[in-house]
Amino acid sequence: MRPLPLRIRKLIGAVALIVLVLVWSLLAMAIAQAVELQSSRIVEFAYYVVAGIGWVVPAMPLISWMSRVAPR
């Protein structure tokens, strides 16, 4: 079985990243509404900082896979 060409991996990865960011943001908003974050501005700020940066962790392996050069 041949490995996927770089262009195809980048296309699949770009679509997956868009889906990841959309799902992540919707989940972060839903969690923020379910939990009472409005009681403390500091807790609310900390939550949105963590939720805003948190999508990077699951995106790193995907970006690594996208940029991997296939062996010849």
Domain parsing of the chain, residue ranges: 6-67
Question: Nearest CA to 52 among 34, 29, 18?
Answer: 29
pLDDT reading at 62 higher than 90: yes
Q: Is the dihedral of CA 27, 29, 34, 37 positive or negative?
A: positive
**Cβ contacts of residue 68 below 8 Å, gap of 6+?**
9
Q: How confident is the model at residue 71 (pLDDT cuts 50, 70, 90)?
A: low
Q: Which of 15-19, 38-42, 45-49 has the lowest mean pLDDT?
A: 38-42
| Token pair belonging to 10 | 């980048």
Output the pTM of the full model.
Answer: 0.80
Residues 17, 21, 23: CA angle, nearest 5 degrees: 115
